[in-house]
Amino acid sequence: MEAQLVEAEKLASSGRVVASVAHEINNPLEGITNYLQLLLENMSEDDEKRKYAELVMEGIYRIAGIVRRLLEANLNIMEEKGDHDINHHIQNVVSLLQGKLAQNNITVNQFLDNNLPQIRCHPNQLEQVFTNLILNSIDAMPYGGIINIVTQMENEHLLISFTDNGYGIPDQDLPKIFEPFFSTKKGTGSGLGLWICYNIITEHAGRIDVKSKRNAGTTIQITLPL
């Protein structure tokens, strides 16, 4: 019990730090955004300096997105654990992303074991993991493709795998994909998606493993204890 209280206090302290840092970043960021918007409104479309101002605005939006994702991850950490049907939460995420999947000509096949026991987890956290993994697969298949999602039991553990037939991850990048701010999406990714996934799964006493081959797709497997 004492160890649990210490861990809870650590989470609360880290939550306060994240919220404070986010606040300190967001306040000046909002001011910069407003002034930059005023500058853009007073620039003509053919002003050669306009493209540089627009690039700065894109950078600001990216910073704001990073801060938002950190806050979302922090809020999910404070969520209470409960016993949940993991298949239900996978189906929920796929349903929510159905429009984006259809728009990108991607088919999702769900091979879900209907006899799985419920597991004790933070459901919103795990849905965030599933969302991040599916969105990564969408980005890896710009011309459409297939995502296979499998759930099964093995040695008193629940296995969840996401496999796509996208362009894969270069061998030299595999050891770094769970590092914060590392991204294979040159110039477009925040580098926080898989880092957040890793931390959420670790907080559940689980593992997340990746197998990938360039131009042959990627499989990400999550292992969770019962």
Mean pLDDT within 210-222: 93
Q: Where are the domains of the chain?
A: 2-77, 82-225
Per DSSP, the three-state class of 219 is strand
- pLDDT tens-digit map of 58-86: 888 777 777 776 666 665 555 567 899 99
Distance (Å, whole) CA 222 – CA 136? 15
Q: Nearest-5° angle of CA 149, CA 115, CA 110?
A: 20
User: What is the CATH architecture of 82-225?
Assistant: 2-Layer Sandwich (3.30)
Do domains 2-77 and 82-225 share one topology? The answer is no
CATH number for region 2-77: 1.10.287.130
* Centroid of chain to Cα 89: 15
Task: Name the DSSP class of 171.
Answer: G
pTM value is: 0.68
Q: Categorize the per-residue pLDDT at 87 as very low, low, confident or very high, splitting at 50, 70 and 90.
A: very high
Q: Categorize the per-residue pLDDT at 128 as very low, low, confident or very high, splitting at 50, 70 and 90.
A: confident
- Of 74, 87, 118, nearest to 225 by C-alpha is 118
- pLDDT tens-digit map of 24-40: 776 777 778 888 888 88
Distance (Å, whole) CA 98 – CA 193? 20
- Of 159, 77, 82, nearest to 118 by C-alpha is 82
